Amino acid sequence: MSLELTAPAPEEPSVAADGTWLECIACGAQFAPFEDVRYTCDDCDGLLEVRYASPPTWDDFEGRGVWRYNAALPFEEGVSLPEGATPLHEVPRLEADVGVETLRVKHEGMNPTGSFKDRGMTVGVRVAKELGVGRLACASTGNTSAALAAYGARGGMETLVLLPAGKVAAGKIAQASLHDARILEVDGNFDSCLDIVQDLAARGEAYLLNSLNPFRLEGQKTIGLEILEEFHEDYGSYPDRIVLPVGNAGNTSALYKAFRELVQSGALDVDDVPKLTGVQAEGAAPMVEAIENGWDETRRWDDVETRATAIRIGNPVNAPKALPGIRETDGTAVAVSDEEITAAQRDLAAEGVGVEPASAASVAGLRKLRAEGVVDADEQVVCLTTGHLLKDPDAAFEAGDDPEPVPNDTEAVLEHLAE
């Protein structure tokens, strides 16, 4: 199945249900969407994508939030809290400092559990109910577990999360714990956790809701749809570039799929598709390595380390979908240091936008690419920030200013402020 941006709309196969089916991106095999549980291709183990006989146009959307875009989704409604409709912030001082014509920040930390993962879970948990599964499961660096636990609770379903021991921010573990998920801390990294969850899913012990699950990415497509709609409403055009953090590469894949479907329906001209630009931490950058070397696939990094815990991933499962997305849109990928990430986190905070470290990678990457001349001064750019500041309060405290002790006296406080 071609992932080219200009590929025509697919023809509906006999296995489709209400114009929806699953298709392998590697060999083109097609499957009914809800008859059996499957995450990868039965024939070649390739990644699956959800296909639609009638890709939507802008006129098909109404309402608010993720389910405004139900014409681009497999159901009319899902298990909802609700989610979506996140702000597209103006950041004028940061815009001027970076040196681009327009800079907006799409803050996904304003979703119900504080990250973009909620968009995928509202669809994924709805699919789980359609399939009649009992237990939901995920591997997580934190945000996925928080979202799955909340949406599993909302749907009245048992939830199991596997986390790398000692590698997940406390705020995220607290969310999963309070929403009554069963939390298993694995002596390994995120990729090890995902290996185990995939094995459990293959044995029928749980329904996997990591972004390997193609239905997760359907919800995440709506990030791109919201960006395009709101940006066009404000400027009468679409952004030249969207810069986003990359961990498992689910958002890169999802946004590219959203744009392809809009091109297929005629709602978006190929020349108006934004350049997808991925940013990774230097200590966990297999996607950047693949882009820089012209590889068709990533090579697994077994040893990964960065303070941006949400993107501390060495084997991005959605790379086969994301690499074409970056290349077909004439985008790129860049790695940034933890110090650059922290500086960008502070820059965003100075504009009143509070994000966790991984979110700030997008701004750090934009600044680096602008300095290198890869991004031009006349570009209109949207940076995606994926999680809220309170997801990792320890990191926020380390990046911020220290409290200043003062005596219990008004005059002493005034004297201190004057110094």
Q: Following DSSP, what letter does each residue of 39-88 receive, concatenated?
A: SB-TTT-PBEEEEESS---GGG--SSSGGGGGGGSSSS--S-S------E
- The verdict on whether residue 248 carries a ligand-binding annotation is yes
Q: How many CB atoms lie within 10 A of CB 326?
A: 22
Non-local (6+) Cβ contacts of 112 within 8 A are 81, 82, 83, 118, 150
Domains of the chain with CATH codes: 88-114+214-399 (3.40.50.1100), 134-205 (3.40.50.1100)
- The verdict on whether residue 46 carries a ligand-binding annotation is no
Predicted confidence pLDDT, tens digits, the chain (419 residues) = 468 999 998 999 999 999 999 999 999 999 999 999 999 999 999 999 999 999 999 999 999 999 999 999 999 999 999 999 999 999 999 999 999 999 999 999 999 999 999 999 999 999 999 999 989 999 888 889 999 999 999 999 999 999 988 888 777 888 989 999 999 999 999 889 989 999 999 999 999 999 899 999 999 999 999 999 999 999 999 999 999 999 999 999 999 999 999 999 999 999 999 999 999 999 999 999 999 999 999 999 999 999 998 899 999 999 999 999 999 999 999 999 999 999 999 999 999 999 999 999 999 999 999 999 999 999 999 999 999 999 888 888 899 999 999 999 999 999 999 99
Output the pTM of the full model. 0.95
Q: Hey, is 98 helix, strand or coil?
A: helix
Q: Hey, is 144 helix, strand or coil?
A: helix
- The verdict on whether residue 373 carries a ligand-binding annotation is no
- The verdict on whether residue 249 carries a ligand-binding annotation is yes
- The verdict on whether residue 396 carries a ligand-binding annotation is no
